[in-house]
Structure 1
């Protein structure tokens, strides 16, 4: 029982150490996460403004047609790999937008000048979207690991270790009581032997 208690205490200390590592990792990634989030939101706003201006100037039909034609021109490739860091799977996202033709899928005279700006902003937007998604995934996984480990520490500290200590105390009390009973029996036996002799 004492070995189990020692093991539980060592486990609690190890989990506290791991919790400190996770806190360090959160602090290390937090600034880059906030910068990435701010950049992503700014690019999202800019993309929506350009999209609205293009849509407003060209109309629904022309814009949809150019959008469908542009789909044929780009082939996106995404490769997601994972590696383990501090007990969490961290994604590595490789994104490449392969442009098959150098010329755009639309004529310059019948399209909005906002369309070219929109395409440039969209390419940048997708790059930052992937960076932001990766950092957000890292932060979520680390925070979930932190929550899980914290719950385990509380379980060890508030339930398992006190139960083991209580069981050890009960066992010690039972052993002490048995020892006293044996001592009393031994004394009574000695007294009987002395009376008989």
Structure 2
């Protein structure tokens, strides 16, 4: 459907400039979308790797906790884990990916302390292994949170960019092309009409001069 405009040369020039800008914007948005999809796929692969690794290690740790609970009793396990172990800090930041500010989470373990905050006299080796497994899992869990949030934000931005690309490609640019064609045809019709009138005037003048 053509845009309703006055079929003038000034309007034709303005529309051609708009079309040029829209075409350039369409290309830039497509390039942005393609690059975001490429990076998004990288984060998706990392997300899958982290989930598989975490699920495997978490399953092993929970199995050890179950064995420790069976041997020591649930109350003894709970009591052994009451005291905090090593401290850590979390630093939140952000990085820019294709004009999308995604979060960064930096985990730093504070030196000192111990990974096993209890005595060994009344605890089992399975509890030691489970606690160490969970300590090793913490950096991976933090990275997974960062990667998943990045994936969600990139997915939202990719969808917004896709809608803009489609609007330009299937609505705005075709409408402008159709309108440019309409104005061009109108101007050509007007030009032919002017030429016809001029020829008739010339014929009339020639006829009058002959008489």
TM-score tier (shorter):
0.7 to 0.9
1:101-120 alignment to 2 at 5 Å? 101-102=113-114, 104-120=116-132
Q: Counterpart of 1:125?
A: 137
Secondary structure of 1:79's counterpart equals strand
User: Could you give the per-residue CA deviations for residues 4-30 of structure 1, whole angstroms, max 9, x where no partner exists?
Assistant: 111111122222222332343245455
The answer (yes or no) to whether the contact 2:81–2:118 under 8 Å persists in 1 is: no
The answer (yes or no) to whether the contact 2:116–2:132 under 8 Å persists in 1 is: no
The answer (yes or no) to whether the contact 1:54–1:112 under 8 Å persists in 2 is: yes
Structure with the bigger percentage of helix: 1
Separation of aligned partners in 1, 2:21 and 2:115:
68
Q: Counterpart of 1:92?
A: 104
Secondary structure of 1:94's counterpart equals strand
Q: Counterpart of 2:170?
A: 158
- Structure 2: which 5+ runs fail to align? 1-14
The answer (yes or no) to whether the contact 1:83–1:90 under 8 Å persists in 2 is: yes
Q: Counterpart of 1:146?
A: 158
Secondary structure of 2:138's counterpart equals helix
The answer (yes or no) to whether the contact 1:47–1:125 under 8 Å persists in 2 is: no
Q: Counterpart of 1:180?
A: 192
Structure 2 residue aligned with 1:168, among 157, 180, 193?
180
| Aligned residue pairs, count | 195
The answer (yes or no) to whether the contact 1:78–1:93 under 8 Å persists in 2 is: yes
The answer (yes or no) to whether the contact 2:61–2:129 under 8 Å persists in 1 is: no
TM-score by length of 1: 0.81
- Structure 1: which 5+ runs fail to align? none
